Amino acid sequence: MSKRHHYIPACYLGRFSDDTHEKARLRRIHVARFTTNKIYLQKADQVGAINNFYRIKTDWKGNPLFLEESWQGYETKLSSALDQLEEMARDSSLQLSAECWLRTLVPFVTGLLVRGPDFNQRFDRRILSGYGENKDSAYRNTLDADDNTNIARMMELQRLLAGTIASDWQLLISPDKDLITNDLGYAIEYSPADDRYGYVIPLSPHVAISLTPRRHRDVLLAKGISSWVAPIGRRTINGQQAHALNVAVTKRATDFIAGRTLEQVIQYAPALSSPRAELLNPQELGFPYGRLALIHEFTWYRLTSILQYSPYDSRVADFGMDWEYLASDWCPNPAFATNLHDFPTGLTYRKGVISLTLFDVDGFSVNRSPKGERIWFKSSRE
């Protein structure tokens, strides 16, 4: 296995290229780095990577590359999944299969929040706020600091998956102006209409996807009697809105921006010299965190397990975790807290619709919804 570990998938970056003949990861993209003030053509698989970034060095008598292999597990189907989203942007009658959404797109989107060097900075800041800045602190001496961060990536992924699933997903179509991307793969947007923040992930020069965190949403819909689909909205953005998104992408970049044409990247490169936007943790944008995230950390496993059943199978409503079925395709390595009991699921099923509520448990979690109200745990499903 290559020692170059991509913290943003090369097959994703390659979609921002004029080249259509090579595989996406081998296509050339125009890249501008704020550290060099240069713009150059580069193969997608040559950027967004760090040698041995995910290698576990501490001797745990395990596979030191298990983390890198886990990312590659869903990346094998990522190009196809992103193609499907682009086809949906062109044809509103198309729907996305639940399998594609849960096994590939949900981990891809969530992975953007935990895979990059920005996570290292945010995680260190979070830990050191408890231990202090002393480099001889207990944190620094517990394990190799990089190993500690890498293990935390998987735990963070597991606890963020429910928030990704509960978010509103909406395709943004930009017919008039090309979109660019950055080394994080996303920008942060604010919606004044409902006073919420969210993530926007450019998928190609003309399509992006927006995620707005919610505490309750219908997450899967029955398609006939045999399959499930993921509800995803769509809307068109004008040239001015696309420009604003490109500016937000540039300001959020920590290393580089990339686009289809030289002229396009030149237009936004000057913004790279402005002060970098503050690195924000997902919880600062409305994603579940802390004890609320613990309550719902097995939501992905429960929801994915029911994909093997038809929508009207009686076993769906149990939302049991089938580890054999989960292991038949990509599945995040689960982490179990030995000092916690099992929490009931926030998933409910009614008449071909599966909904998710990220509820609090009184006496355990103290989080409130983005609107400020407390959502209390109910023992019975409605």
Tens of pLDDT, residues 46-101:
999 999 999 988 755 678 888 899 999 999 999 999 999 999 999 999 999 999 99
**Integer Cα distance of 39 and 30 in angstroms:** 7
For the whole model, what pTM was predicted? 0.90
Residues of the chain with pLDDT > 70, as a percent, come to: 89
CB 234, CB 92: distance < 8 Å: yes
Highest mean pLDDT among 36-50, 95-109, 120-134, 325-339: 95-109
Confidence bin at 137 (pLDDT 50/70/90): low
pLDDT confidence of residue 64:
87
Q: Are 46 and 31 contacting, i.e. CB atoms less than 8 angstroms apart? A: no
User: Residue 379: its pLDDT value, please?
Assistant: 33
Question: How confident is the model over 313-339, as pLDDT tens digits?
Answer: 999 999 999 999 999 999 998 988 888
Please give the distance of CA 50 from its chain centroid, rounded to a whole number.
20
Residues 6+ apart with CB under 8 A from 135: none
Q: How far apart are CA 354 and CA 227, in angstroms?
A: 13
Positive or negative, the CA dihedral 295, 301, 305, 307 is positive
The predicted pLDDT at position 375 comes to 43
pLDDT of residue 190: 78
Q: Which of 164, 154, 173, 167 is nearest to 90 (CA)?
A: 173
3-state secondary structure at position 182: strand
Mean pLDDT over residues 348-373, rounded? 78
pLDDT at 280: 86
